[in-house]
A and B are shown apart, each in its own frame.
Chain A
Amino acid sequence: MHHYLVTPSSYRYICTRIGLKKKSLISPDQYNRLLNMELSQIIRFIGESGYHEEVHMLSSAYSDIELIEHALTENLAKTYRSILSIAPGALQELAEQYFSRWDIENVMLILRGCQFHIPGDRIRAVLIPAGVLSPSHLDHLLTLRSIQEIADNLSSWPHHEIVSARISGGYRRGLFASLENDLYLAYYGNLLTDARFGIRGGDVILPHLRFEIDILNIRNIFRLRAGSTVSDITPFMVTGGYMNPEDFQRLYGVTDRETFVNELSRAGILSILTEALKNLRCDENVCEADAADVVWRRWAAHKTPLYTVMLSVNAMLLHHLDGLARRHQFSVLPIISYLEHKRYEIANLRAIARGKQFGVNPDFIRQHLVM
């Protein structure tokens, strides 16, 4: 257990500041306006809002959609860095632990970029140095020429042992997929342990974390059912959620509708999916029977549930996080909530810009926004 001499006033200061920052995020009304804009107007809009520095800095190097995407990523990285740098003591440590998932994403991007000879500049443009690994460390990793060298240079990283054990035999088929899965499993395991026993005030994020793990497992069980023939799904299930991994294993083998609906209902998945469907269709009359019907049809046909449903589930996760952040006003939750909102703001802006690039209609784009 770590103890820090952090006064509650610094907690109040940072959380109030974060609360104000959260209010300046793009509102649903502004999204509706953005949906009816052209790409050039979107660039102007984001150039005049919180992204002006990045847009002006990158406008000479990129144009149109590439400018938007690079400016958004750059801004997200900057926001993470600035928030984590002003967070005091245990809050910073906990937030860094929580956002160390970006480290996994960054390391995997660098490893794959190195192995598949993707130019370092392209990889650098999408790295979000929000975790334990500093931007200069990530830059150094990008200059290395082999995955073994990258693994050797990650000795200060908490997941170093997993990376070096996996990569020691050199690149082989399936290496990155299994490494990525192992890293995420270790991440959730470590974070749960730290939140429970390691860091003061960490227990407040447990409900959010457990709900997130449940959603991750729900998503993955459907993905495995749709695209895989594996019989044992335990290696792909993250432990620590509210739902039991055995429930997921039992559900995985179900082939008749009645048992499927009963299992869904018993594991609490059906209520989540019903809520998601309700939000997606903007229809309060959607009941559990409707959701069960939609999900069963996809399950029986070995198809993934519609990704728009899963986006709606992500929105639910965000609302759940907001609720917890309101309940624990001076904890790490407001920081996590703000940064998650920021991440989805970036994702929404990218979705709108890419949707405009592909010429899809605004209603279709709206389904891909997490608000």
Chain B
Amino acid sequence: MSYLRDIRPTKSELLVLKSRLKIAVRSHKTLQMKLDGLILEVTNLAPLVKAEYDLLMVRYRRVRHLLAPAYMIEGMLNVTIAAYSVESKTEIEFSEKNLFGIRVPVITGSNVRTDLVDRGYGLLGTSLVIDDLADAYEKLVDAIIAYAGNAAALSHLIAEIERISRRVKALEHVVIPSLEASIATITASREELEREEQSRLFHVKKRWK
């Protein structure tokens, strides 16, 4: 096995290898459990992210659909001025939460949806299409924030699953088999040495008689 080379068939080496095997088996079991947990979490999160993505696309299409009438009715500058007039600032907060020892981002937004009278443009000087467009954009920002947090968490989890999966496979297919093979080799060679010793002793005793 390529994993372990130049091992001496001594009892101390055998004890070290046995201890390492024990740790490897325990690590494998723990990582396998963590992997199962992460996969379960991803299975739960993926449909949610998919639904949020679909909602995001629906809202994005709605915005695109309303942009044309807004420009058609109000013209470029009036739309721009209305956009500039919006005074409520959306606040986006970043935090982290611990999921199976992995720190995943949590993104939340506040002040996204605003009341018509608090938006910043006058009610009597603008038309209805500006309301519809502003409302559509607010809903889009809401969907982006919801999607961004969960999509980032999902991508972190998937990256972690990939990393742990590689470790589990390495333990399962390389480390544990090589340790077992080394232990077997050392045991065999120690038994061979023991048999040689017994045979030597037998012949020595026979000569003395």
Contacts and interface: CB of A to CB of B under 8 A. Distances in A.
Interface of A: 66, 69, 73, 104-105, 108-109, 112-113, 116, 118, 122-123, 125-126, 173-174, 176-181, 184-185, 216, 219-220, 222-224, 226-230, 236, 238, 304-305, 307, 310-311, 347, 350-351, 354-355, 357-358, 360, 365, 368
A60 B71 CA distance: 23
B75 A307 contact: no
Interface of B: 67-69, 71-73, 75-78, 80-81, 84-85, 87-88, 115-125, 127-129, 131-132, 135
Contact of A181 (B78, B81, B119, B122): B122
Contacts of A307: 69, 73, 127-129, 132
A350 B119 CA distance: 26
Given A174-B87, A177-B85, A223-B128, A354 B122 contact: no
A223 B131 contact: yes
B127 A229 contact: no
Q: Is the interface of B mostly helix, strand, loop or mixed?
A: helix
Nearest to A219: B128
Contacts of A118: 80-81, 84
Given A126-B78, A226-B116, 10 more contacts: A176-B122, A177-B120, A184-B125, A224-B116, A227-B135, A230-B117, A304-B131, A350-B72, A354-B68, A354-B72
Contact of B116 (A116, A185, A223): A223
Contacts of A219: 127-128
A174 B118 contact: yes
B80 to A, nearest CB: 8
B127 A310 contact: yes
B150 to A, nearest CB: 27
B33 to A, nearest CB: 48
A116 B124 CA distance: 21
B84 A180 contact: no
B72 A355 contact: yes
